[in-house]
Structure 1
């Protein structure tokens, strides 16, 4: 009896905790889903396919992701966080002019997109859920606030208005150029980066000229 008790205790200690096992499964599901997203696209990717490749029961996936769009949303948010980290660690804050800041941010964003095909699909092709859309809006607002603070700190532009939000419009212009480049070439080329920079700076300079002439 003592031997049996000892074996049972050892078995219990070796079990993976439920939360740890769930976290590992979620991580595996996201990893596989991202790979399938690039390989087969959003239409053909499905939770059954993810479950099969990840070797995770479907029943263990649905409590976390009720449908594939929930997976897309989680992956989109993760990529936005990572891109935010890339922008924060870039040389943008050391830019000597707001034009230089714009160029660095666009190049850094393009580099991230080109290195992460799934991010292109998730962030440049549109939102899949309301939650996803809100995360996109928050990301763009954060970048717009950074642009506004940079311009004001350098004293090169008048205070950018918030209604309509000139900084947010500038960010959307740059994003539109990158979306165009991805749709055309499945990547963001240096030429598209230059045009994105040109579009953003031209808009802000034209707004500045209009304001100054009043």
Structure 2
């Protein structure tokens, strides 16, 4: 994957430069399209010479992939915050809360929405997306099986497929409206409910 080709620096000054490049790119994506974001402008704004940027990121897609990876890690952490509060909730109530959290995350982070929901920008981004969906699904399997009324899974991939459905609906909402609407969140919850009922989980 492209993200594995990124040469991460070890010296303090180089790490600071890399972080400046990443933050400059995120700031640019707040106001520009993906197509308008390029290494030359990132170099001019950040003050980091192009040859140094190319040492870390051979192409703009390498840079985008690193940012996508970081956003996925943040999303994953965000979704599993305060999981102890889920113990007395039903599976659908947990899904509803997770939908609100994920929607809030994307709606508050335009670059994350552009790079993840609007694409992904490349095959590497898609691979990262699928890997994180699987990790998020594993976290929810753990939660669902440890609540007061646990979910007994018949097929290990059932929750992964459900998360895929939610993600697809989020992408549709971003494509059409530029953000994840409350109506979409309700639609996603209905889809999850129908899916779980069909699978005889609820």
TM-score bin, normalised by smaller chain: 0.7 to 0.9
Give, in angstroms, the shift of residue 81 of structure 1. Answer: 1.1
State the match for 2:190 in structure 1.
198
State the match for 1:29 in structure 2.
21
Q: Number of matched residues?
A: 191
Q: Which runs of 5+ in 1 are unaligned?
A: 1-17
**Mapped contact 2:29–2:37 kept (Cα < 8 A):** yes
TM-score by length of 2: 0.86
Q: Could you tell me which of 35, 47, 60 is aligned with 2:39? A: 47
More helix by share: 1
Closer, same or farther: CA 84–149 of 1 in aligned 2, 3 Å: same
Greater shift, 115-124 or 197-206, is seen at: 197-206
CA deviations 1:100-149 (Å, max 9, x no partner) are 11111111000000111001011112333444333212211112112323
Paired with 2:146 and 2:26, the residues of 1 have a C-alpha distance of 39
**Higher relative contact order by CA 8 Å / sep ≥ 6: 1 or 2?**
2
Give, in angstroms, the shift of residue 185 of structure 1. Answer: 1.1
Q: Could you tell me which of 96, 101, 111 is aligned with 1:118? A: 111
**Mapped contact 1:90–1:108 kept (Cα < 8 A):** no
Give, in angstroms, the shift of residue 156 of structure 1. Answer: 5.2
2:198 equivalent to 1:181: no
Give, in angstroms, the shift of residue 189 of structure 1. Answer: 1.4
State the match for 1:93 in structure 2.
86
State the match for 1:160 in structure 2.
154
Closer, same or farther: CA 174–127 of 1 in aligned 2, 3 Å: same
Give, in angstroms, the shift of residue 176 of structure 1. Answer: 1.0
**Mapped contact 1:178–1:192 kept (Cα < 8 A):** yes
User: Alpha carbon RMSD of aligned pairs, Å?
Assistant: 2.0
State the structure with more CA Rg. Answer: 1
CA deviations 1:128-178 (Å, max 9, x no partner) are 34443332122111121123233333455441313xx21111001111111
Q: Which runs of 5+ in 2 are unaligned?
A: 1-9
Closer, same or farther: CA 90–41 of 1 in aligned 2, 3 Å: farther
Paired with 2:52 and 2:100, the residues of 1 have a C-alpha distance of 40
Paired with 1:50 and 1:100, the residues of 2 have a C-alpha distance of 43
State the match for 2:75 in structure 1.
83
State the match for 1:132 in structure 2.
125
